[in-house]
Amino acid sequence: MESLIEDLSVLDGSEQCETIKVTQDQHTGKKRKLYIESYGCQMNFSDSEIVASILHKEGFDTTSDIALADVVFLNTCSIREKAEQTVRKRLAQINTHKKQRPEMLVGVLGCMAERLKTKLLEEEKIVDLVAGPDAYRDLPALIAQVDEGQKAVNTFLSREETYADISPVRLNSNGVTAFISIMRGCDNMCTFCVVPFTRGRERSRDPHSIVAEAVDLFNHGYREVTLLGQNVDSYKWSEEENNKAYLERKGIENVVNFAGLLEMVAQVSPLLRVRFSTSHPKDITDEVLHTMARHENICKNIHLPVQSGNSRILDMMGRGYTREWYLQRVQRIREILGEDCGITSDMITGFCTETDEEHRETLSLMEYVKYDFAFMFFYSERPGTLAAKKFVDDIPEEIKKRRLQEIIQLQTELSLKRNQRDVGKVHQVLIEGYSRKSEDFLQGRNTANKVVVFPKENFEKGQYINVLVHDCTAATLLGKAVNN
C-alpha cells in the first residue's frame, strides 16, 4: 500500500527536473554504445527515443551502464534555473567517467543546448557536442566531427522538422504505453517561458504518419498512446501549408485540426487508449470535448495549465485568457465530459508584482475547479524571456516559498477529496506493471489518469481489468479486481 508521505512528494511539482535513464539495453551487435539521460518534460523523453533511433542506424546500441558508453547524452530542460543546475551537477559527476575514459564523448541536447549554444562548451569543459531539438538528424555528422578531434555544435531551429519519418526506439518502455509527438515548437509567447526560443515555431506533423505510428504500436502490443505537443489544440495540417497531392492520395480532408486527429487515432482500435498533452485554455474547443465524449477509448483527462487565478497576472504572463474565460472552459468540460473527467494543471506563484490578494485568487480558483493533480512552482526568472526583459522579479523568495506551500497544501487536500469520490466505484484499469512498493501488487491507470494499485492475482501487464476501489490516498486509488 502506497504511503501518504510518498504521495505528497509526488504532488509537490517543485521538483520539475525529473530524470529518466536509459534502462533498455540493446544487444544487436552494434560496435558503439549510447547512454542517454532525459530531463524535464515528456517531449524530451520522446526526443530521446528519436535520437536513439537515428544513432541505431549509425552503429549504436543503447546501454543502461554509463561506464560502458562510448557516447553519453544529456537531453536537457531549461524551464527553470534548478533544471539547468541539475544538469551541471550531473556533468560534474560524469567527469569522473571521462577522466577514466578520455575517449568517451559527452554531449548536451535539447532546450539547455539551444539556450546556451557554444557557451556550454566554454563553461563545461567536458562537453564535446551541443545539439538543439531540431538538429538530431545531424548527430552522426556531429559525432564524426568530435571523433576527428573537434568540438561540434548545431542549434539551428527549423520551420519544417517534425521527425515524422523516424520510428522511435522505445526507451524505458513498459511495452504498454508510448508517446507520439504530433507537433513541435510553440507560437504562444508566454512571458515567463523559454520554449518558443528553445524549440522554435509551431509545425504540425502529417496525420497519416501519426496514425501509422499508432497502428504500429498497437500491432506490437501497446495499448495506450499519448499525443504530445507544446499546445496540441493548435495542431493543424492543411492543403495550403502542406502537401496537397499527398493529402489527396491518402484521402485525408483538406484541413485536419486536433479534434480530427483525435478521431483518426481513436479509430485505430477501441482497445487502444488515447491521451494527449498539453492543452492551452485559450485554444481548447467544444469540438475536441465532443470528440472525447464520442469515443470511450479517448481518456477523460485534460491537462489544462492555468498558471494563475488572477486576470491581471495572466495578462502579464501573456496567457491570452482571463480568469473568467478559464472557468468557462472548465464548466464546458464538466458539462460535456462529466464531473468524473480528470482535470490537472500547472501553477506558478510569486510572478512579478503578484500581491497576496492575487495569490488568494489562485487558491480560490483551485477550490472552484477542484483539480485532481497539479504541478506547482514558484516563479523562476529565465534569461532571454519577455518577462526578464519587461518586468522586475520583485517577489522575495521567502514569500514565493510560503505561497507555494499554501498551494501545495490546498492541492493535496483537493486531490484527496477527488480520490475519495472514486471509493466504492468500479474503474477500468490498463495494467502497466508492478506497483512501486511490492511485486505482490500491480498498478495501472483509469481513464482519468489516476494510479490504481491492486493485488496481482493472475493478471498480466497490458490487460484491461475492472477494479473496485476500496481506499485511497491523495495520489493513489487502492482496490481489488472484480468481474473479470
The full DSSP string for 97-156 is: HHHH-TT-EEEEEEHHHHHHTHHHHHHSTT--EEE-TT-GGGHHHHHHHHHTT--EEE-P
Residue ranges in the chain modelled with pLDDT below 50: 1-17, 244-247, 249
Q: Helix, strand, or coil here: 260? A: helix
pLDDT tens column, 368-390: 999 999 999 999 999 989 999 99
Q: Which pLDDT score is estimated for 245?
A: 45
Q: Which pLDDT score is estimated for 262?
A: 97
pLDDT tens column, 206-264: 999 999 999 999 999 999 999 999 999 999 987 655 554 444 545 555 789 999 999 99
Residues in CB range of 203: below 8 A, 6 or more apart? 158, 159, 160, 161, 162, 183, 184, 185
Task: Place domain 8-154 in its CATH homologous superfamily.
Answer: Methylthiotransferase, N-terminal domain (3.40.50.12160)
Please give the Cα distance from 436 to 468 (Å, whole number): 20
Q: Which pLDDT score is estimated for 40?
A: 85
Q: Which pLDDT score is estimated for 43?
A: 87
Q: Which pLDDT score is estimated for 253?
A: 54
User: Which regions of 245-350 does DSSP assign to beta strands (E)?
Assistant: 255-257, 273-277, 301-303, 342-349
Residue pointed to by grid coordinates 555528422: 141
Fold assignment, 177-420: pyruvate-formate lyase- activating enzyme (3.80.30)
β-bridge partners, 346: 375
Q: Which pLDDT score is estimated for 2?
A: 29
> Could you tell me which of 68, 77, 72 has the C-alpha nearest to residue 19?
77
- Say what the pTM is: 0.87
| Contact (CB, 8 A) for 203 and 184 | yes
* Sign of the alpha-carbon torsion through 462, 466, 471, 475: positive
The alpha-helical segments, DSSP class H, found in 40-110 are 42-56, 81-100
| Contact (CB, 8 A) for 451 and 445 | yes
Q: Which pLDDT score is estimated for 9?
A: 31
- Starting at the edge strand found earlier in the chain, the sheet holding 224-228 runs 177-181, 224-228, 273-277
Q: Which pLDDT score is estimated for 42?
A: 86
CATH class given for the domain over 426-481: mainly beta
Locate the domains of the chain by residue range. Answer: 8-154, 177-420, 426-481
